[in-house]
Structure formats: structure tokens, C-alpha cells
Amino acid sequence: MSKKIKDPDAKGKKGKKGKKGNAADEFGVSIAGNPRAKAQVRRTKGWAGVAGFAITAYVSYGAHVPMQQVALRSLVVGIVAYMIAWACSLVIWRQLMLAELKAMTERHEAERAELESAAVAAVAATAAANAARKPADGSPSPAPAG
């Protein structure tokens, strides 16, 4: 009868198959992986929820609605405004990130074209220098004295 040796690192890790990375690691670029987008989406959701709640409470209270109904309406509108702001900010940031990627790709392609043209120019200059050193009659160049 053999005893199984337990791995000390496996302690308390029953059923876990590995670490989950963020969405950007798995699929490339994501809004959740962009710190500017993440902060802006959170800020937008928060302000939209608070604004929806406050405006609804003000309008309902001004219409002499019972306080119970004011609270209920304000909560519902605040939640709906939060969700709408979330959806809208995701759509906007998705387009912004696509535009940023496109601009980055164009900038990279322009730099690559510059480097390629510089390399071609360097090769042409080297070939011209080699041709200038070679005698025109095709005879081997004299050995340097030394």
C-alpha cells in the first residue's frame, strides 16, 4: 500500500483549474483592461445613477406624490439610468479604442515604411561605395601596402 504525497502548494485549492486572467490577456484588447476606459465607465455609471435618482425625486416630490412612491420611483429610475449609462459608455469606449488601435497601426506602418526606405537607401549607398572602390576594367584592386 502506497501513500500519496500531497503537494504543499495544492492546499486549499480543490476544484480550481488555474488562475483566470483578465479579458485583455485572453482576447487581446478589452475595455476592462484599459485603465482610462474602466475609470470613465465607472464614473459615468455613478453620476448617471445619482442624477437619475435626484431628478426623479425632485420631480416626484414637486408633484406631491406620496413619499413611498417618490423613493420607489427614484430608485427605479436611478437603476435604469445606471444601466443605460453603462451601455452607452461601453459603446462609446469601444469606438474610441478601435480608433486608437487604427491610429496606432497607421503610425506603426508609417515608421516601418520609413525604416524600410532608410534601409534601402543604406544598401544603395553601400553598393555605390563598393562600386566606386572597384576598378572599372574589372581587374582586382591592388593589395594595400602594409
SS3 12: coil
Residue 48 lies in a domain: yes
* CB-based contacts of 143, cutoff 8 Å, min separation 6: none
**Nearest alpha carbon to residue 52 among 91, 7, 16, 84:** 84
pLDDT at 102: 94
Domain containing residue 51: 30-100
| pTM given for the model | 0.61
pLDDT in tens, 62-89: 999 999 999 999 999 999 999 999 999 9
Would you say residue 96 lies in a domain? yes
Asked whether residue 139 is domain-assigned, the answer is: no
pLDDT digits (tens, 9 = 90+) for 25-69: 565 788 888 889 999 999 999 999 999 999 999 999 999 999 999
The amino acid at residue 34 is: N
Asked if residue 143 is part of any domain, the answer here is no
DSSP per position, 95-117: HHHHHHHHHHHHHHHHHHHHHHH
